[in-house]
Homo-oligomer: A and B are copies of this chain.
């Protein structure tokens, strides 16, 4: 509610903060940005459902998420259970409350989930990774185990996404945060099909709820993200909006993609960056946004400026 009260955005998202250590069993905790790119305070949030399938974790200030155990063989996969929504009561309660609070204004309540591949990287590696060696090796040398894990995760995440839609989310954001670390031919096997299952599940079980799919550093994956059936492709700042439009075609709605660092550079820089993205995206099928989350230390006035200039730009269309 804090950003809602400050900025009156067109969309609000559920973010649940909790104590760092031992917080995993209760839900999401905010991870300190890791020391190397890409920063992702989303890690802890996309991990929220893991305890509800049998994967406990903690957030370590230095290391980020640390899982209580890793999932590296068939027995560990078999031990995972179906999503237990009773372990996540706060999700439905919070979304319903948000919907009641902001819904009448016309603002969208956004649900969000991680992709099966991205959640699997944490389950297999045991936490954050810089090289994804263990899970990629599993893909190449124990593909049945990884496929079984991804199948279970896809089912759980589909249930989780649908639950969020049924609890009040107007739209679902699906983060394949580490999908861009896969060679695209491996993404076609290990990430894309499982994303598609979740998109299809939301479309079937929560008709009218659009899905946005996003991956960090997706310049090698754009067309593939568009082919998942997602309603919107979210873009970070490493792809030019004009290039993305050309590669995805005019019929594909897009979201993004102002560089979050722009908000450190003063009002003129914010104004210019917003104008450039709007001009490249054109007047239809574009949700103006940053290309990633607001960075730690961003001046609050710059966030306000971005909202102001965006709303004025919209009024001028």
Q: How many residues on A have C-beta within 8 angstroms of the other chain's C-beta atoms?
A: 49
A185 at the interface (CB under 8 A from B): yes
The chain B residue sitting closest to A258, CB to CB, is B183
Which listed residue, B184, B266, B297, touches A238 by the CB 8 Å rule? B184
A262 at the interface (CB under 8 A from B): yes
Task: Given A137-B265, A266-B141, verify A184-B239 contact (CB < 8 Å).
Answer: yes
Q: Which residues of B contact A295 (CB under 8 A)?
A: 131, 133
A39 at the interface (CB under 8 A from B): yes
Q: Which residues of B contact A186 (CB under 8 A)?
A: 259
A104 at the interface (CB under 8 A from B): no
Which listed residue, B185, B219, B257, B297, touches A219 by the CB 8 Å rule? B219
A99 at the interface (CB under 8 A from B): no
In the complex, the answer to whether B130 meets A261 with C-beta atoms within 8 Å is no
Assembly CA distance A131 to B180 (angstroms): 18
Which listed residue, B133, B220, B266, touches A140 by the CB 8 Å rule? B266
Q: Which residues of B contact A223 (CB under 8 A)?
A: 243
Nearest first, the 4 A-B pairs at minimum CB distance are A36-B36, A219-B219, A219-B220, A140-B265
